[in-house]
Structure 1
Amino acid sequence: MHHAKPLPRFLVQRYKGWKATQFEENKSWYSRLADEGQRPRTMIISCCDSRVHVTSIFGADSGEFFIHRNIANLVPPFEVSKTIHGTSAAIEYAVTALKVSNLVVLGHSKCGGVQGCYEMCTGEAPQLQEASSFVGRWMDILKPGFERIEKNEGDKQAKLTALEHESILVSLENLMTFPFVKEAVESGQLSLHGLWHEIGSGSLECYDADKKEFTRV
């Protein structure tokens, strides 16, 4: 592959800094992870957004979380086909092989993917409506959420925040279409959680199924 280039200097320097400090200070822990494998209790499905630092938010060490990231932290509905399903494969592995006890969908404020879905559905982003748009076809998953907030009162930002919440709820709904997830949840072996992170304030909200609303953690 002649297109691959050497690692940028700033990444090399950061790696060497990590290796000389954090790794050296926890060498025995990393050795144990390598020898014994991973046993995370929690899977987190979060957005690709670089501002959402999952392990920092929860103060997690290596080996604690099984993390999958995609545009707008979406989970597609269960489907068996020849299409490649990266998110579905990660969920299957976490639930059936790693036997995680908790599965968290973590959304966030100012989500570009959610905004793209909103603008696609309102005709403001015709490029996302093209059949060739990977982002657009991925954001089709969130269309049911848009239909639920479409007639909400408030300005565009209020609707975007509501749609960010819907990205979490749609994903939780779709998770229950996976037979192995449904079985694990109903048997009490797996708990599902929906979280929304406000980047600017650092606050975290959790979906309360009884109240049918997000409440501050």
Structure 2
Amino acid sequence: MHNVRPLPQYLVGRFHGWKATSYSENSAWYRRLADDGQRPRAMVISCCDSRLHVTSIFGADSGEFFIHRNIANLVPPHAPDGQQHGTSAAVEYAVTALKVAHLIVVGHTNCGGVAGCHAMCSGQAPELEEKSSFVGRWMDILRPGYERIKELPQDEQIHALEREAVMISIENLMSFPFVQKAVEDGEMSLHGLVHDIREGILWQAEDAGQRWTAV
């Protein structure tokens, strides 16, 4: 494939730095991970946004988190329709094969996907309504959340929608039979978080998202 090029040198340099330090100092741990397989305690579903760095926030090491990232940290409803569902497949594997004890949805402030959904639903981004828009069709998952917040004062809507992106995902997670069973059997717990990037605050949902408290 003529479109595949070598890595830029700044990434090559960073890799060699990691190999000489972190890997070299912990090579036995990495080999154990390779030989014994992963046993993460938690799955994290977070936004693709490069500013949201969940392993740094929690000081996590390799093997601790099973991480899935997508636009606006959304989980679609359970829909076994024969189509390709990357997020649903990741959830299924984490719950049924890895048997994670915690499933954590992490949103964040100033989310471009949430802002795009707000613009689309309020008629300000007609291009996202096009059937050909992958982002628009993905953000359809969040439309019920927009309906919940559209009567709020204008300057509060996007902030509220960022939290709705987390709660809609948790509600949709409970539509998966294997998630519902794991939660009801006490084998797994669900958690909803929003990271304030500017202030470094982590907010957690309580009372089904009616109340948010700082961790």
Q: TM-score with structure 1 length normalisation?
A: 0.97
**Residue 165 of structure 2 is aligned to residue 167 of structure 1:** yes
| 1:58-117 deviation line (CA, Å, top 9, x unaligned) | 000000000000000000000011211000000000000000000000000000000000
Letter aligned with residue 34 of structure 2: A
Residues 28-67 of structure 1 correspond to what in structure 2 (within 5 A)?
28-67=28-67
Three-state SS of the structure 1 residue aligned to 2:19 is helix
Letter aligned with residue 57 of structure 2: I
State how far apart, in whole Å, the 2-side matches of 1:173 and 1:82 are.
22
State how far apart, in whole Å, the 2-side matches of 1:210 and 1:45 are.
18
1:213 Cα offset (Å): 1.2
Aligned length: 215
Q: Which runs of 5+ in 2 are unaligned?
A: none
Residues 61-100 of structure 1 correspond to what in structure 2 (within 5 A)?
61-100=61-100
Matched residue, 1:177: 175
> For residues 53 and 109 of structure 1, do their structure 2 counterparts lie closer, same or farther at Cα, with a shift above 3 Å needed?
same
Q: TM-score with structure 2 length normalisation?
A: 0.98
Matched residue, 1:194: 192
Letter aligned with residue 198 of structure 2: G
1:210 Cα offset (Å): 6.4
State how far apart, in whole Å, the 1-side matches of 2:141 and 2:150 are.
15
Letter aligned with residue 72 of structure 1: A
Three-state SS of the structure 2 residue aligned to 1:193 is strand
1:212 Cα offset (Å): 2.0
Contact 2:167–2:209 under 8 Å retained in 1: no
State how far apart, in whole Å, the 2-side matches of 1:42 and 1:180 are.
16
Matched residue, 2:211: 213
Matched residue, 2:147: 147
Contact 2:167–2:208 under 8 Å retained in 1: no
State how far apart, in whole Å, the 2-side matches of 1:211 and 1:76 are.
18
Three-state SS of the structure 1 residue aligned to 2:106 is strand
Three-state SS of the structure 1 residue aligned to 2:148 is helix
> For residues 88 and 211 of structure 1, do their structure 2 counterparts lie closer, same or farther at Cα, with a shift above 3 Å needed?
closer
1:214 Cα offset (Å): 1.0
After superposing on structure 2, the runs of 4+ consecutive aligned residues of structure 1 that deviate more than 4 Å are none
State how far apart, in whole Å, the 2-side matches of 1:98 and 1:25 are.
27
Contact 2:117–2:142 under 8 Å retained in 1: yes
State how far apart, in whole Å, the 1-side matches of 2:213 and 2:59 are.
21
Q: Which runs of 5+ in 1 are unaligned?
A: none
State how far apart, in whole Å, the 2-side matches of 1:41 and 1:180 are.
17
State how far apart, in whole Å, the 2-side matches of 1:181 and 1:107 are.
20
Identical columns (%): 63
State how far apart, in whole Å, the 2-side matches of 1:31 and 1:11 are.
23
1:211 Cα offset (Å): 7.4
